[in-house]
Amino acid sequence: MNETNVKNKEKKLVSIQGYEGSFHQMAAEKYFGNEVTVIPCATFRDVIKIAEEKKLSNGGVMAIENSIAGSILPNYTLLQNNKTLKITGEIYLPIAQHLMVNPGVKLEEVNEVHSHHMAIQQCMEYLGQRHWKLVETEDTALSAKHVFQRKSKHIAAVASELAAEMYGLEIIAENIHTQKSNYTRFLILERIAEAEPVVDANKASINFITDHTKGSLAKVLTLIAQEDINLSKLQSMPIAGTNFKYSFHADLEFTTLKQFNNVLKEIDKCTEQTKVFGVYRNGQV
């Protein structure tokens, strides 16, 4: 982890999960521009820890859900337990997987393919057509880096176009993922103490715990609908230390902040607890 102080706030320094060349880095660059500097982290928990520290970063970028694999539930728990960060934006990134090798290596020379288990599964229709040994690794970009470092003529990696560019690999098969419409949603996290209000915000992420009265969840959902707010996501999360009690994560899309503030006041009246994770601009797929 990089422990260099953040001296230039114009140039963003953000923590990401994974290695340089990962889809997290692509998301960071798409949101902040190519001048952003990323701090690779082994785990999402480390992403949060680095994002919290003013001397280490300006914030973090964290995946929260995928259009095929669904929600990353542990990351909702990280948000719920955190008191330092808030969501200030989101980015939807199309996930394109490519087969890459060292320069000059031909497809028929490959007998082994390395990548993260999720990427391998996403490309199984293509990979399963050949008698290749499939090796699961901890990260797609790290797989590309290892192929580069080993200078192998028989090992390929499945990773992003950015990883191929960074490690000087040649893409010998493009877009080998089975489902062509595959997006991952990433959250932009900044420290509450320093984050400025988002101009023209039209989306919010909240978490609430209903009381024990009958129909309490239905009442909350009705309040949201009555305010003409779109409930784009509702995710239940078990509450640790309880017997089958749940909190609910909700993403709300609205036209004006007044709509959101009005419904938040009403939700507060019929829930045990409500927490706002962030108010921000709706990202576009």
Alpha carbons within 13 angstroms on the beta-carbon side of residue 215 total 3
- CA 110 to CA 105: how far, in whole Å? 8
Q: Which domains, from first to last, does the chain contain?
A: 13-95+182-191 (3.40.190.10), 98-173 (3.40.190.10), 203-279 (3.30.70.260)
Radius of gyration of the chain (CA): 21
Residue type, position 259, single letter: Q
Cα of first residue to Cα of last residue in the chain, in angstroms, is: 31
Neighbours of 27 (CB within 10 A): 25
Digitized pLDDT (tens) for each residue of the chain, 285 residues in all: 444 334 344 689 999 999 999 999 999 999 999 889 999 999 999 999 999 999 999 999 999 999 988 899 999 999 999 999 999 999 999 999 999 999 999 999 999 999 999 899 999 999 999 999 999 999 999 999 999 999 999 999 999 999 999 999 999 999 999 998 999 999 999 999 999 999 999 999 999 999 878 889 999 999 999 999 999 999 999 888 888 788 999 999 999 999 999 999 999 999 999 999 999 999 988
pLDDT for residue 10: 62
Q: Residue 68 has what pLDDT?
A: 86
* Backbone φ, ψ for residue 157 (5° rounding): -125, 150
Calculate the alpha carbon distances from 51 to 26, 55, 87, 93, 267 in Å: 18, 10, 12, 21, 30
